[in-house]
Amino acid sequence: MNAWVLFDWGGTLMRVFPQYRGKMRDWPKVEEIPGARKALHAIHGRIGIALATNAADSEEEDIRKALERADLGSFIKRIYCFKTVGAKKSSPEFFARVLADLHTAAEHLVMVGDDYAEDVKPALDAGLRAVWFNAHGTDVRTGHNLATLHHVDHLPAVLQAWGLLREAH
């Protein structure tokens, strides 16, 4: 099994500071979402880890520099951004290209994102599993191939329940 988790970037792995403009790599301050490092550390080496973003002003190199500033870069194997994929996460083409590049089946790819309409719904429509990271609300949505988390560091338990994590070394 070639399983992967595909994280949204802003709001799921990295904090978004609305007062800052331009590329995140150049912001005066970058921070991980609380619990992101713990989640990444727990799943690293047990499932492939990739990142997906609709950020229009950042390319892979820019994203990697921002991740490095937050000490998260070593966990992320692949980055899929709007500029390189040529499609937004809300389009079927986005996930088709990611699946082809990762050489995996839809049921072995989990999209984790904080925006239900842009991250979760399109992933479910493409046949993927999805985790809605709802850090700021109490709403819970569950269903076939769908889970809700209020704390991103609870992700390993969801992946374990879905049978997607390899045994830890």
The answer to whether 110 touches 6, Cβ cutoff 8 Å, is yes
Of the candidates 85, 101, 139, 146, the one whose C-alpha atom is nearest the C-alpha of residue 121 is 146
Terminal-to-terminal C-alpha distance of the chain: 17
57 in a structural domain:
yes
When pLDDT is averaged across residues 30-34 and rounded to a whole number, the result is 96
144 in a structural domain:
yes
Q: What pLDDT is stored for residue 154 in this prediction?
A: 96
Two tokens at 52? 């997906």
The reply to whether the predicted model has a pTM over 0.75 is: yes
Q: Give the C-alpha separation, 23 to 129, whole Å.
A: 30
Residue 1 — pLDDT band, cuts 50, 70, 90?
A: low
Of the candidates 81, 83, 112, the one whose C-alpha atom is nearest the C-alpha of residue 98 is 81
Model pLDDT for residues 19-31, shown as the tens digit of each residue: 999 999 999 999 9
Q: Give the C-alpha separation, 100 to 26, whole Å.
A: 32
169 in a structural domain:
no
| Number of separate helices (H) and strands (E) present in the chain | 6, 6
Kindly report the average pLDDT of the chain as a whole number.
94
167 in a structural domain:
no
168 in a structural domain:
no
The answer to whether 70 touches 31, Cβ cutoff 8 Å, is yes
Model pLDDT for residues 129-149, shown as the tens digit of each residue: 999 999 998 999 998 899 999
Of the candidates 75, 97, 99, the one whose C-alpha atom is nearest the C-alpha of residue 88 is 97
When pLDDT is averaged across residues 61-73 and rounded to a whole number, the result is 96
* Structural domain count of the chain: 1
What percent of the chain lies above the pLDDT cut of 70? 99
Model pLDDT for residues 82-124, shown as the tens digit of each residue: 888 989 999 989 999 999 999 999 999 999 999 999 999 999 9
124 in a structural domain:
yes
Residues in Cβ contact with 130 at an 8 Å cutoff, skipping those fewer than 6 apart: 110, 111, 112, 113, 119, 120, 121, 123, 124, 145, 146, 147
Residue 57 — pLDDT band, cuts 50, 70, 90?
A: confident
Q: In this structure, which amino acid lies at residue 38?
A: K
> Which domain CATH number covers 74?
3.40.50.1000
**Residue 64: domain span:** 4-161
